[in-house]
Amino acid sequence: MSSTYIPAKTQTQLWALAAGRCEFAGCNKLLVGDLIAGKEDGKFGFIAHIVADSENGPRGDKIRSPLLAREISNLMLLCPIHHKEIDVDHVDDYREPSLLAMKREHEDRIEMVTDMDVDRAAHVLRFAATIGQMDSLVSTKAIFAAMPPDRHPAERRTIDIELNSEIKDDEPAFWNMQSEHLHRQFQRKVKERIEQKEILQLSVFALAPQPLLIELGTLLGDIMPVSVHQKYREPSTWKWQLHQPPINFNVGEYSGPKDVPVALKLAISATVEDQRIHSVLGEDAAIWSVTAEEPHNDIMRRQDDLAIYKTHLRRLFDRIKAHHGDDVTINVFPVLPASVAVETGRTRMPKADLPLVIFDQKPERGFVQTITIGS
């Protein structure tokens, strides 16, 4: 146990830098107030030395210990469990560099989050639906961690739209039922709050079958600022990977006969051969496309690429209408990352663009028709 007196000014400074929370990596426990004990204004944290104030203490040093005894750079705010962890139970597991890294990461994060102005506050929309037999609910903690520095949560709770059904997605009633449920929940949980000026901007985190993601995007539209995030498998995170190489998109335009079925191939996560579309719409189908040069599941890692994709898609919507006229429907064949599927729906302009029929890819069955948007 330390015997060094830490000046009150230094203690106050450390509590402020740590925001009253444990600085041990992954803990972040609030150390002010205990409602169960009835001590709302109590403080339950310990100020711990990284290099002990005695050469015989944890990580102590004959020369450095007295020099660093009162230095805030050598002090951490910890909860009782992690104070005992680093100083008693597993001293050898926690060397000076690792504890300094914990302190730096925690205090940098607190500074970044608290430095945000009110204009960056966004309500979090979490959209989940059944993908095959898998539950696609996502972690709130991981979501909130992915938002800074551009946004921070406007409130602690998320706005949840969940579509659960005992009907399977290969049954005729599935898509119409899920579409109706999505519209109802969006109206009640999101649109009404937007109209009442309670929600000024949204951060969207979504995992669902692609037709429903596209339909969610059409509901969001461009009525307010929206940022859409992407879930990655490796590393497992929702945070954008800013330093990844850009995606090389290829845009395919059709120049043949006008009075034929119209297909829009959106193949970013995987390759889609034209013959698979012809097998659905016929050999004379007109295929327009936005594809990625090297498609794969984790391809969409940068917001800039998402914006470039939307620019390509916006231009194709205009070109398709100019070539085929106002009386056709676009059959959409999407193989997309979740964020791209949502932005596909947001790109469509309801009053100007052609109706969309969304197809979904089924194992051993190919593409099947699901939802119609803007009929």
- The verdict on 87 and 150 lying in the same domain is no
Show the domain range for 39: 8-114
pLDDT at residue 35 tops 50: no
- Averaged pLDDT, 332-355: 97
Contact 346, 222 (CB under 8 A): yes
- Specify if 243 maps to a domain: no
- Specify if 137 maps to a domain: yes
CA distance 221 to 19: 37
| pLDDT value of position 40 | 55
Phi first, then psi: what are they for 36, rounded to 5°? -65, -40
- Specify if 21 maps to a domain: yes
Contact 221, 346 (CB under 8 A): yes
How many domains in the chain? 3
Helix extents (H) in the chain = 8-17, 64-68, 80-84, 96-114, 140-146, 174-186, 192-195, 210-220, 274-281, 303-324, 338-347
CATH of the domain at 273: 3.40.50
Nearest to 343, CA basis, from 250, 245, 248, 219: 219
Residues 210, 214, 215, 216, CA torsion sign: positive
- The verdict on 125 and 208 lying in the same domain is yes
Contact 61, 91 (CB under 8 A): no
**Residue 211 CB partners (closer than 8 Å, separation 6+):** 175, 334, 358, 359, 360, 370, 371
| pLDDT value of position 132 | 43
pLDDT tens for each residue of 272-287: 999 999 999 999 999 9
Residues 95, 101, 104, 109, CA torsion sign: negative
- Specify if 261 maps to a domain: yes
- Averaged pLDDT, 11-20: 94
- Averaged pLDDT, 310-332: 97
| End-to-end Cα separation, the chain, in angstroms | 73
Nearest to 16, CA basis, from 34, 32, 40: 32
- The verdict on 134 and 201 lying in the same domain is yes
| pLDDT value of position 36 | 44
- The verdict on 290 and 356 lying in the same domain is yes
Q: Which of 196, 228, 260 is the last residue of a domain?
A: 228
- Specify if 88 maps to a domain: yes
pLDDT tens for each residue of 122-147: 999 999 986 543 344 567 888 888 99
Strand partners, 290: 251, 266
- The verdict on 108 and 33 lying in the same domain is yes
Cα angle 258, 259, 265 (rounded to 5 degrees) comes to 70
- Averaged pLDDT, 288-309: 96
- Specify if 236 maps to a domain: no
Q: Which of 171, 199, 228 is the last residue of a domain?
A: 228
pLDDT at residue 33 tops 90: no
| pLDDT value of position 303 | 94
pLDDT interval class at 354 (50, 70, 90): very high
- Specify if 131 maps to a domain: yes
| pLDDT value of position 43 | 76
CA distance 184 to 178: 10
CA distance 210 to 186: 17
| pLDDT value of position 26 | 87
Q: Which of 54, 89, 114 is the last residue of a domain?
A: 114
pLDDT tens for each residue of 53-86: 999 999 999 999 999 999 999 999 999 999 999 9
- The verdict on 255 and 209 lying in the same domain is no
Q: What is the DSSP-derived secondary structure letter of residue 232? A: B
| pLDDT value of position 118 | 59
pLDDT at residue 335 tops 80: yes
Q: Which two tokens stand for residue 38?
A: 């009835």
| Residue of 92 and 120 predicted with greater confidence | 92
| Beta-strand relationship, 226-228 and 249-252 | unpaired
| pLDDT value of position 152 | 87
- Averaged pLDDT, 90-117: 88
- Specify if 234 maps to a domain: no
Give the range among 88-102, 159-173, 199-213, 357-371 with minimum mean pLDDT. Answer: 159-173
| pLDDT value of position 281 | 97
